[in-house]
Amino acid sequence: MIALLEGTPVISGNTCIMMCHGVGYGVAVSERTKQALSSMETARLYVHTHVREDAFELYGFRTPDEQKLFEMLLTVSGVGPKTALSVTGADVSQIRSAVESGSVSFFSTFPRVGKKLAQKIIIELKSKFGSLDDLDLSSTEGKGGEVRQALETLGYPDQDIRKALRKIPVDTLSLQEAIKQAMKLLSSS
């Protein structure tokens, strides 16, 4: 099973080809991920390997939490990998809000998702998310993403970083101050 790819992303149509040591892996990614990868020289993708009788497909995500959301969606009866990928390509704060509010119309905007399937997704995700604290659906872009990346570079575990970022007001602090406060929290735990 392929779980992680790190290399040079090459966008080709609807697919991202991850060049890793001379081997190109075709990875299906969401439109939002594809746009982010198009400006990167090297990238890391967390991969879900989907095996069927007639296919061996790779689906790529920028964070482990996006991958976890994708895999939660796959457990919903009637949701296949292409549908799950299109849903995870939406802004994650919108997904959280739609699940919390029970917005059938939000999920119905995705291809292959009708009213009944949208209702099923909401019901299943509410029970899987619990209070939604299991899954950090905060954006990986902007200042929060920069702080997270800096802390990962320093070797802090992802789970600890998420807990620390929930406790500090990243948007109201400078980048340096946010990193300092997060490091202080991480070193005290």
Written as one string, the DSSP assignment of 87-101 is HHTS-HHHHHHHHHH
Of the pLDDT bands very low, low, confident and very high (cuts 50, 70, 90), residue 130 is low
pLDDT band, very low/low/confident/very high, at 141 (cuts 50, 70, 90): low
pLDDT attached to residue 117: 93
Under 8 Å between Cβ of 129 and 135: yes
CA distance 115 to 52: 27
Taking the chain, what is the end-to-end CA distance rounded to the nearest angstrom?
34
Cross-strand pairs, 11: 16
pLDDT tens sequence across 83-107: 999 999 887 778 878 888 888 999 9
> Taking the model in full, what pTM does it have?
0.67
Q: Is the pLDDT of residue 110 over 80?
A: yes
Which pLDDT score is estimated for 94? 81
> Could you read off the pLDDT of 41-74 as tens digits, one per residue?
999 999 999 998 888 999 999 988 889 889 999 9
